[in-house]
Structure 1
Amino acid sequence: MKSIDVLLAVLANGWVVSAVLWKDSISRNTTDILRKRYRDEKTQKFSTVFNSRKPSLTSNPASKPFYITLPLDHFTTSNTDTFQSRYYVQDSYYQPGGPVIFHDIGESSIERYAPGLVDEEEFTVSMAKRFNGLLILFEHRFYGESAPLTEVSRALGDASKEGLTAFFKYLTIEQALEDVVVFANNFTYDFQSYPSQKLTPEYTPWVYVGVSYSGARGAWLAKRNPGLFKATLASSAPVELKVDFWEYFVAIEANLAASGNTNCSADLAAAAAWLSQAWETQNETLVDKLIDTVYQADWENYISQFRNQDDPRIWDTRRDYMQDAAWTAFADFQYYGVQGGTLGKFCDIMETAYSDNAPAEGLFATESLDRAVAGYTKAVAAINPYSYSRSARNKAKLKQKRQSSKLDSSLDDYAWLWQVCSEFGAFQVANTSRPQNMLPSFINVAAQIDQCIGTFGESDQVSLAGPNVSPINQKYLGWNIELSNTLWTNGEFDPWRALSIDSTTEDAPTNDTSTTEIPQCGTTFPRGTQLRYVIVDGYHGSEFSEDVVENADDIGLNPTNTIGGISASRRVTLTSTGTGTPVADARNAQSLWFNAMSTWLPCGTQVFTFTSPQPSSSTPFKTRSSYSTDGPSTDGSTTEGLTTDGSTTSNPSRQSSSPSENKTQSAASLVLPPLMNLFMLSLFAFLTGVGFIL
């Protein structure tokens, strides 16, 4: 059994990372924004692929990354450590006097986005073309190639918990926001066709564009450093941070109802209840059939190594497989919804498991439990190999083979997990007090915190108290933030809308006003009024997912040209292109943004003055009380925690848990990656499974 114990130790440590990572990578939002969903009608198989590019430019910005040296710690003068931050530049459309369009990618490597810089129908490229701008793709610290090159960052899987914590200590929201300020204040660029241009915000208008986490970053920067950007697009921006984010599933419930899939919604809730009960009673009869059907060799090879098939450790692995299965149906919902993504196909397969006429009440209400579970299993098995979660894991494995950086290929995953565990939160978990709940009870805040501690250990930044969302909410006011020269957009069915200023949750503010009337230069909104647009039938960053059609709306550069309330006569009608369900109203959000840029860019009322950051602690908090472990809170109530000064503050409730070398501004040289270590090989072999098709 010694070899089994070693294998279990490897898998246990690895799964602590992966079980959160694959799910939280779904919440990483921007990773999939530039991709399209294609469906093979003959095979009924899905794959996630890049949109086909239509390059009309001869130069390829993706072949020439740039780097700037930034302080590792902006707020401690005695710390002189630095790192190299990567970015790409598209200068084909620039003319003197044009703006700098800063596209903040956020929590992902920017390498996958760089090829889109030559596609004139991409939203940000269209901005540069229309406004004669210089387009920048910026990489967040500790993602892609923008991180210190250390022994830890070369082999994250081999690092100790203390080593990981020491490495990621400076990955904080405030440090990352200051990166943007320093970058903008020091930005220079050598043009081939023009003499030297003054491109810092004092001389050239900067425009910020971000989606999701990077959209929230844009809002926080507008609040933190007024005037740095003359215009900000905060798309699908979750500015109200919280730990227990069960509300993620409310949008899924609404979209299922709107698309006539209430039977599927009922079955997903019933399946979650069954998985919960199976875990609590450790009844493996139907669970093992599910796991064996879906994961096949993964499961069979793992279970065969146990002499005692009743070994309690097997249930920890069953739980991980059950969690993966439970998430399969929702894997890409936030980008494509029910009809355009895997959820709609999942529902079709499950509801027609025994008849072409799907039962109105659902399988679990009309079939025996074993037959209902079999129908559910059939859908999981059909969708899982092509789901976002499995796709992301397989792509991570392949990335290791082709990576040009010496940094560990799993850096993005570890970095986002660190941010989620320390400051961002937003655990998408079950809320078993709701009959509509669609996740099993063991996917809860307590389990997520356990996984955070299991990966990074306990420290000032990752603790049993959970992610410390209070400092950012208090500084930037969360839902109550008010900004000028900012357009807020959200999709009607975007799960992250619940954390945006367009939230409709019960605890969201109701005394604010939405308008599509763009304030003219020198004027401001009345208190409580902001420029906001909810995209009808839209999802996460829908205005970025749809190509921009030239002359779809008569948009000029006249500062007085607004589209007001966007009357029906000005709405754009789309026809299906075979790439999923088009979101027609996304074009109107694009139009509103172009008109806002037309109005705000010539406006000189906000002047940005750079000031050096003030010394402060680089850690977001010191000590807080841990989440209660003496019983679940299933009614959405809050529990008390300690802030940095010892006062009490409300925290979301949790449910109890069950058993480099220096680079200059030039093209980077290619460096062969190190071999994947044994730990990552074992982990990926365990996770990937068989039968995956790219």
Structure 2
Amino acid sequence: MPIDHFGNSSTAATFQNRYWVNATYWEKGGPVFLFDSGEQDAAPLLPYYLQEYHGLSATMQLAKRYKGMAILWEHRFYGDSQPFPVNKNTTADQWKFLNTEQALEDVVFFANSFAKSGAANAADSSDPPSLPLHPSTVPWIFLGGSYPGIRGSFLRIRNPETIFATWASSAPVQAEVDMASYYKAAERSLTRNCSADWVAVTRHVDAVLQGSDETAKVDMKFDLLKARLSGPGGNTTGADNLTRAKANATDVVDAASILMDPLDFYQYYGFAASLLPFCNILETQNMTRAPVEGGIAAASGIETAMKAFLVALAEIDYDSVPPGPPDPVGDRSWMWQYCSEYGFYQRGDPDNPLSIETSFQSLDLFQQQCNQVFPTGLPPSPQVEKVNKYGGWNMQPSNVLFTNGEFDPWRTMGLASIEPNSPHRTPTVSIPQCNVAPPGESFFGLTYAGMVHVSDMRVLLVPDSNHSDFKTVGFYSPVAQEPFYAGLGLFQLALDEWLPCFKGM
């Protein structure tokens, strides 16, 4: 793959871009279904999306139905697809090749080159080397969730001659530096009493840590850290080595952010699986009181609510949840992308009366963190205009299905956004004509009731300890079966309508 597709630099170098192919169902003339892994190492997705380990994947089910070729694609600067080694020594002159346009052109270059590779023609060596899988000959169909969903919608606008159709799940197509809306989805899902107490505790902690009483600050930090380090049943042994000196040395942002621990798994598992257990312990004061509708703070005061919140943090024991496999390459590369182009700074909003995120998480803090990790090469602020030139909330691509979860935090930046500054477009399941954008303010899509982030790209049919429990979060983990079948069924109906209009060579 060329490092630079556009000749804007002196480099003519190339790099190895990794991908996997499953041709089990492929017959000559069948479509190519490309699943984009996005901002991560693609290898862990292989058994779930190209081999259907413990369930079904949309990519393979579509390949089976339409006798197509399935491909898992790895994004430049992630996994083993690194033009340059990605680490703290990666230079600004190297990072500049990780941007939206270069990465989109990778897919176009690949689609135009893939049919010429020996692997692509292994099934029939008599085929001319440029014909059987070229996008001018067979339709290429893009699937992706989250950031890959953004890419799929952009490619349909940017390169309709290459990507014939797209299924974009949970795609935040509107880039914004200020994404205070991220936690609004979680706020909307909370019960009234849990919401009231979370807001009250957050405001209380922020006020103490912003105040001038140094003793109160250390006490607050100590209590928060102790709750994080303690475990269920009143087990405080994990906090045995905690001292007031260590608490005092803890940054206020890190201390206040402990209040957000229960939200670590919300994006993929939603209220019922990740927040309801916490809220139940909080509102019953660890099963010792009956819950009250208005919350503990209103009924018994902020100190009682604060104590109940700390106990709930300890009882759920979020800090002992085993982390997923480390991906330092992916973490650093995605940070470059959001610091340079996408923004998505998930700040706290003190002006929002329902905000459950600490106000210490500010826009200035996010920008400071970006500048610390990348001291050279970044613009003063993310250049979101390079992303939003494709239309953002107002884009009108043809042959694209947009799906979202009702409580997905990233829905706020998608076409299904209901935020005050969004255009409030309406999803419709009426299938548009081939190559014709839906009319007016509607868009072709589904919003799944009660669901969260990328709930529909695969479905779990057999229990799998790696991908069924929020304590071992897997990317694109299914929380229900219905969204998979609903989304897949609608996309199949759309392809049945659209594929006959493909004009091949």
- Structure-1-length-normalised TM-score: 0.63
Alpha-carbon contact 1:239-1:479 (below 8 Å) kept: yes
Structure 2 residue aligned with 1:215, among 123, 145, 149?
149
In the TM superposition, what is the alpha-carbon distance from 1:548 to its structure 2 partner? 8.6
User: Residue 24 of structure 1 aligns with which residue?
Assistant: none
Give the one of 565, 576, 584 matched to 2:482: 584
Q: Which residue of 2 aligns with 1:76?
A: 8
1:384–1:227 distance in 2 versus 1, CA, 3 Å: farther
Equivalent residue letter for 1:364: A
- For 1:16-415, what aligned pairs fall within 5 Å after superposition? 69-76=1-8, 78-116=10-48, 117-119=50-52, 121-150=56-85, 153=86, 156-157=87-88, 159=89, 163-188=90-115, 189-190=119-120, 192-195=122-125, 196=127, 198-256=132-190, 261-281=191-211, 282=214, 283-295=217-229, 314-316=249-251, 318-323=252-257, 325-340=258-273, 342-354=274-286, 355-385=288-318, 391-392=322-323, 395-396=325-326, 410-415=328-333
| Aligned-residue offset at 1:423 | 0.7
Inter-partner Cα distance in structure 2 for 1:426 and 1:476: 17
Would you say the 8 A contact 1:73–1:170 is kept in 2? Answer: no
Structure 1: which 5+ residue stretches go unaligned? Answer: 1-68, 397-408, 550-578, 609-694
**Counterparts of 2:316 and 2:161 in 1: how far apart (Å)?**
47
Q: Percent identity?
A: 33
Provide the rounded CA distance (Å) in 1 between the counterparts of 2:480 and 2:40.
25
Task: Give the deviation of 1:108 after TM superposition.
Answer: 0.8
Alignment of 1:275-674 (within 5 A): 275-281=205-211, 282=214, 283-295=217-229, 314-316=249-251, 318-323=252-257, 325-340=258-273, 342-354=274-286, 355-385=288-318, 391-392=322-323, 395-396=325-326, 410-459=328-377, 461-463=378-380, 466-473=381-388, 475-510=389-424, 512=425, 514-521=427-434, 525-547=438-460, 582=480, 584-604=482-502
User: Structure 1, residues 60-97: CA drift from partner, whole Å, max 9, x if none?
Assistant: xxxxxxxxx33345342632122211111111111111
Classify 1:192/1:228 alpha carbon distance in 2 versus 1 (closer, same or farther; 3 Å).
closer
**Secondary structure of the corresponding residue to residue 589 of structure 1:** helix
Aligned-partner SS, 1:204:
coil
- In the TM superposition, residue 315 of structure 1 has moved relative to its aligned partner by 4.4
Residue 399 of structure 1 is matched in structure 2 by: none
For the 8 Å contact 1:208–1:229, the answer to whether it is kept is yes
CA contact 1:519–1:525 (8 Å) conserved in 2: yes
Cα offsets for 1:95-127 (capped at 9, x unmatched): 111110010111111011001122162222211
- The Cα offsets for residues 273-302 of structure 1, whole Å up to 9 and x where unpaired, read as 122112202522133122123236997768
Aligned to 1:616: none
Q: State the alpha-carbon separation in 2 of the partners of residues 492 and 504 from structure 1.
A: 10
Question: Which structure ranks higher in relative contact order (CA pairs < 8 Å, sequence separation ≥ 6)?
Answer: 1
Specify the alignment match of 1:670 in structure 2: none
**Alpha-carbon separation, structure 2, partners of 1:581 and 1:214:** 20
- Give ranges in structure 2 of 5+ residues lacking alignment: 231-236, 463-476
Shift in CA distance, 169/430, structure 1 to aligned 2, threshold 3 Å: same
| Superposition deviation, residue 366 in structure 1 | 3.0
1:241 partner amino acid: A
Q: 2:261·2:318 contact (CA, 8 Å) conserved in 1? A: no
Amino acid at match of 1:263: N
Residues 537, 583 of structure 1: 8 Å contact kept: no
In structure 2, give the amino acid aligned to 1:180.
V
CA deviation vs aligned residue, 1:345-365 (integer Å, no higher than 9, x gap):
111221222525222222222
CA RMSD across the alignment: 2.7
Secondary structure of 1:102's counterpart equals strand
Partner secondary structure for residue 472 of structure 1 = helix
Deviation of residue 528 (structure 1)? 4.5
Cα deviation code 1:389-443 (max 9, x no counterpart) = x644x631xxxxxxxxxxxx51111011111111111111111111101011101
- Looking at structure 1, the residues matched to 361 and 443 of structure 2 have their Cα atoms a distance apart, in angstroms, of 36
> Normalised by the size of structure 2, how large is the TM-score?
0.86
Contact 2:77–2:84 under 8 Å retained in 1? no
Counterpart of 2:44, as a letter, is R
Deviation of 1:456 after TM superposition, in Å, equals 0.9
